[in-house]
């Protein structure tokens, strides 16, 4: 897995609405909180995306952008984002190529992992939080890391 202090791998992913997001473009707006989650519309993932939604203003206040990533399609992401009124993009990583580039491990060798990366404006990873079963802990860890960047 990509570690704190390493350069974040570049990516180019499709997001809901037909747009795309690239790391280098996202970082022009400030730090990036990139969280990988297993699957749309599952209980743990719903709790996680909604916790990022509920704290969205805190991320804006910290000058950061939030992006969620899973292997689900943009159609699935669109339904999921609409259902939960998500104010940040969900990116589709078909085949898990970006997940693999970041080294996100599988849980029990089967489930796609749940990992949050905080990446500074220079593209350096400043925080990595890996917890499949602590979906509610990703937001506070990411916000703490962002506050340390200031």
Render pLDDT for 82-137 as a digit per residue (tens, 0 to 9). 999 999 999 999 999 999 999 999 987 788 999 999 999 999 999 999 998 888 89
The string of pLDDT tens digits covering residues 20-46 is 999 999 999 999 999 999 999 999 999
Given a contact cutoff of 8 angstroms between Cβ atoms, the answer to whether 119 and 24 are in contact is: no
pLDDT at 133: 86
Residue 1 placed within a domain: no
Residue 73 placed within a domain: yes
Residue 80 placed within a domain: yes
Residue 5 placed within a domain: no
Residue 6 placed within a domain: no
Residue 2 placed within a domain: no
pLDDT at 135: 84
The H-or-E segment that residue 80 falls in is helix 74-83
pLDDT at 125: 98
CATH number at residue 106: 3.40.30.10
pLDDT at 67: 98
Catalytic residue among 13, 16, 34, 45: 45
Residue 4 placed within a domain: no
- What value does the CA radius of gyration of the chain take, rounded to a whole number of Å? 14
Residue 98 placed within a domain: yes
Query: Which tokens hold the place of 34?
Result: 């990139």
Q: Is 50 a catalytic residue?
A: no
How many structural domains comprise the chain?
A: 1
Give Cβ neighbours of residue 102 (< 8 Å, ≥ 6 apart).
Answer: 1, 2, 8, 9, 34, 36, 115, 117
The H-or-E segment that residue 91 falls in is strand 90-92
Q: Is the pLDDT of residue 150 over 90?
A: no
**Mean per-residue pLDDT for 4-24?**
96
> What is the span of the domain harbouring residue 59?
12-149
The string of pLDDT tens digits covering residues 53-80 is 999 999 999 999 999 999 999 999 999 9
């Amino acid at each position: 897995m990509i570690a704190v202090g390493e350069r974040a791998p570049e990516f180019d992913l499709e997001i809901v609405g037909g747009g795309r997001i690239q790391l280098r473009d996202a970082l022009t707006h400030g730090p990036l909180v990139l969280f990988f989650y297993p699957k749309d519309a599952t209980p743990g993932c719903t709790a996680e995306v909604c916790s990022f939604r509920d704290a969205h203003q805190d991320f804006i206040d910290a000058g950061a952008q939030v992006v969620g990533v899973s292997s689900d399609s943009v159609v699935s992401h669109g339904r999921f984002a609409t259902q939960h009124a998500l104010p940040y993009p969900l990116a589709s990583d078909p085949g898990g190529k970006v997940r693999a580039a970041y080294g996100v491990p599988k849980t029990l060798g089967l489930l796609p992992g749940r990992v949050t990366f905080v990446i500074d404006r220079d593209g350096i990873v400043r925080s990595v939080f890996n917890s499949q079963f602590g979906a509610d802990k990703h937001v506070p860890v990411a916000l703490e890391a962002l506050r340390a960047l200031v």
